[in-house]
Amino acid sequence: MAHEGHLGIVKVKQRCRDLVWWPGINHDIEALVRDCAACLLSGKTGQSAPPPLQPLAWPSRPWEHIQLDICGEIHGHAVPHHQRFLVVVYDLHSKWPEVVPVGTVTAQAIVDILDSLFTRWGLPLTLTTDNGPQLISAEFSSYLSNKGIKHIRTAYYNPQANGGVERFNQTLKNGIRAHLVQGCTFQTALNQTLMHYRARAMKQRFDKAHRVKKSIIQVSDWVRARRPQRCNKMASFWSEPLQVSRQLGPATFMLSNGSRWHASRLRKVPAPQGIRMHTEQTCRPETPPDGPPPPLPPEPQPLRAPQGPEPQAVAVEERPMRARTRPAHLGDYLTSFHS
C-alpha cells in the first residue's frame, strides 16, 4: 500500500518507517521502485549514472578526421532567410572550423558544401555526424561511400560524442550574438567571429603571459625530471640525472630509463662526474701506433733573481712600559696576600 501512489523511493521509505521494519528494508524498497514501470515512466526512479568519458584519438595530421553539424535554424530580424542555417565542419587535429551559411539543409546542399571543402583541403579519412535526416539519407551515404570516407554516426541524443563541433557551435553563436548587438550585419558578425577564433589568440596570450621559450634540450643531454610527488619529506622532487635518448615531439622527450617527460618538467644539468671524466679521456687524441712518440719540449729553466747586497738585520726596539701605581682609594686596605 505504501507504493500504490508511485511517489518515489524517498516517500515510500518514509511511509514504511512509520509502519513496519525488517532487515534490508531500504534495499528492498529501492529494488521495488527501480523495477516498477509506472515509477520509471513518471520519472521517480532517478537517473542512471553516466559512463566514463571516452576521449577521441587525436588524428596524426590535419583534415584526417572531421566533424560535421548543422547549427540552426537561427532566428532574428538581422538574419537573412538564405543564411538561417550554418553548416559547420570542424577539424579535430588543427581545430580549424569551416562555416557555410545556407537557406536549406537538404542532403544535396550538404553534398555541394562538402565538394567545395574537399576541393580546397582534400579528402578526409573519417567524418563524424549526428543522426539528422539529411546525414543518414541514402544520397549522403552513397556520396561518402564513393569518396572512400568512413562515416561515423553518434548515438542518439548524445551530442557529447560529437563534442568538438558542438562546443564550437556554442562559441560561434555567442560571438555572432555579441556582434549583432553592436549593430553589425549577420555576415560581418560571422566573419568577425571566425577571424578571432582562427587567430588563436589563446595561444598568443598564453605564450606572452607565461614568457615561453623554445626548449634547449637535445638528444644525449643530461637532465633531471621534476616528479609531482616525493616518497618522504626529506626527499627531493627532482630525479637523479638521466640522459635524453629520443625526442618524441616538439617538447616531449624519452629518457634513458624509458620514461616520457614534457620539457616543462625537465632541467638540463651537467653530466655526472664519472661520465664526464670518461668522455674527456675518450676525446683525447691518441699517439699513432706506428710512428715514434713526439719529442718532449725542453723543460723551462727557472729564472734567477739578480744578485744584490744581502739585507742587513734590523734591530727591533722594545716597546715602552707605562708607569703603574697603586690606586689611592686602596691605601687603607691590604691588597697583597704574599708573605
Confidence of residue 307 (pLDDT cuts 50, 70, 90): low
In angstroms, rounded to a whole number, what is the distance separating the alpha carbons of residues 257 and 254?
8
What is the sign of the dihedral through the CA atoms of 275, 279, 281 and 286?
positive
CB-based contacts of 240: which residues, under 8 Å, 6+ apart? 224
Domains of the chain: 1-48 (no CATH), 65-197 (3.30.420.10), 214-226+237-279 (2.30.30)
pLDDT above 70 covers a percentage of the chain that reads 77
Strands 97-102, 222-225: parallel, antiparallel or unpaired by DSSP?
A: unpaired
Confidence of residue 93 (pLDDT cuts 50, 70, 90): very high
Give the three cell numbers for residue 110: 550538404
Residue 313, CB-side half-sphere exposure with 13 Å CA sphere: 3
Supply the DSSP symbol for 25.
H
DSSP per position, 103-119: S---HHHHHHHHHHHHH
- Quick one: pLDDT at residue 32? 84
Of 58-72, 87-101, 148-162, the poorest mean pLDDT is in 148-162
- Quick one: pLDDT at residue 133? 93
Tell me: the pLDDT tens digits for 8-44?
A: 888 888 888 888 888 988 888 888 887 777 777 666 6
The CB density around residue 92, as the number of other CB atoms within 10 Å, is: 22
CB contact burial 158-167 (16+ within 10 A = b; e otherwise): eeeebbbbbe
What is the sign of the dihedral through the CA atoms of 277, 279, 281 and 285?
negative
In angstroms, rounded to a whole number, what is the distance separating the alpha carbons of residues 244 and 257?
9
In angstroms, rounded to a whole number, what is the distance separating the alpha carbons of residues 336 and 49?
103
Of residues 2 and 97, more confidence is placed in 97
Which residues are 70's β-sheet partners?
Answer: 87
| Predicted confidence (pLDDT) at residue 304 exceeds the cutoff of 90 | no
- Quick one: pLDDT at residue 105? 94
Of 87-96, 115-124, 186-195, 290-299, the poorest mean pLDDT is in 290-299
Residue 12, CB-side half-sphere exposure with 13 Å CA sphere: 23
Average pLDDT in the chain: 82
| Predicted confidence (pLDDT) at residue 50 exceeds the cutoff of 80 | no
- Quick one: pLDDT at residue 4? 72
Please compute Rg for the chain using Cα positions. 42
In angstroms, rounded to a whole number, what is the distance separating the alpha carbons of residues 7 and 11?
6
User: Which residue bears the cell 542512471?
Assistant: 48
| pTM, full prediction | 0.55
In angstroms, rounded to a whole number, what is the distance separating the alpha carbons of residues 25 and 216?
66
In angstroms, rounded to a whole number, what is the distance separating the alpha carbons of residues 30 and 16?
12
Contact indicator for 137, 145 with CB cutoff of 8 Å = no
- Quick one: pLDDT at residue 137? 95
In angstroms, rounded to a whole number, what is the distance separating the alpha carbons of residues 65 and 59?
6
| Predicted confidence (pLDDT) at residue 189 exceeds the cutoff of 80 | yes
Give the three cell numbers for residue 161: 560524442
Give the three cell numbers for residue 56: 577521441
The CB density around residue 231, as the number of other CB atoms within 10 Å, is: 8
| Predicted confidence (pLDDT) at residue 283 exceeds the cutoff of 60 | no
Of residues 300 and 266, more confidence is placed in 266
pLDDT above 90 covers a percentage of the chain that reads 37
N-to-C CA span, the chain: 122
